[in-house]
Structure 1
Amino acid sequence: MRNHDRTLFRVKLGFLAVFILISAGILIYGVFYEMPRRKCEAAGGWWTDKYRSCETPIYLPLLTGRKAGEPRKIIWPDAQKAGQASNGAPRPEEKPASASASSSVAASQ
């Protein structure tokens, strides 16, 4: 019976140690992750989990110069200008006709 009591006591200590470790982990998570996030959001900031930093939002009309609530004006090209729009591909260089003629004359001499 004595060996049985010792085993039960060790199991109790094991569960107590696991409980203490889990409780300490929850407290550490709360102090280092949850409390800074809550403080940031309470102050009106944006919390980023990736960098663990509190960022201040910038009011968009300050950047764009538009009044609050003013929509962005998009100027769409008409059908004629849309056909002339560049697609971003580089255009081949065009040599003037007089330059190519003079170079062939110089090569033949």
Structure 2
Amino acid sequence: MNRSLTRLRLIFVALFVLGVVGVGVYQIYWAGPQKECEGRGDWWDPATRICGDVIYIPNITGRQPGESREAASRRAAAEKLSEEARARGE
């Protein structure tokens, strides 16, 4: 009876140690990169597990923050007309 309890105790201790190691590995290799990426303010894609840079849309489009597409088109057309007028010497 005593040997059975000792064996059972060892099995439970081994399962506990494996569980603790498993949780540690999960935190370091699975959950850790996501928290690190989001902590930097980047974008985390869970499907591919890739950390991507956040791209500010006005940097791509050249529009002012909060400016609509129509207003940006008008502004660009006005700037182009003023540049053409300056080039002609008006």
The alignment's TM-score, normalised by the length of structure 2, stands at 0.70
Aligned pairs, how many?
A: 70
2:73 is aligned to none
Whichever structure has more helix as a proportion of its residues is 2
| Aligned-partner Cα distance in 2 for 1:61–1:54 | 21
Gaps of 5+ in 1: 74-109
| Aligned-partner Cα distance in 2 for 1:15–1:48 | 37
User: Offset of 1:72 from its aligned partner?
Assistant: 3.5
Q: Does 1:40 align with 2:65?
A: no
Q: Does 1:17 align with 2:14?
A: yes
What secondary structure does 2:55 align onto? coil
RMSD: 1.2
1:97 is aligned to none
Identity of aligned residues (%): 39
| Structure possessing the higher relative contact order (Cα contacts under 8 Å, 6 or more residues apart) | 2
Q: Does 1:50 align with 2:47?
A: yes
Q: Which structure 1 residue ranges, 4+ long, deviate > 3 Å from structure 2?
A: none
| Aligned-partner Cα distance in 2 for 1:59–1:42 | 18
| Aligned-partner Cα distance in 2 for 1:71–1:15 | 64
User: Offset of 1:23 from its aligned partner?
Assistant: 0.7
User: Offset of 1:65 from its aligned partner?
Assistant: 2.2
Gaps of 5+ in 2: 71-90
Which of 5, 10, 15 matches 1:8? Answer: 5
The equivalences for 1:93-104 within 5 A come to: none
| Structure of greater Rg | 1
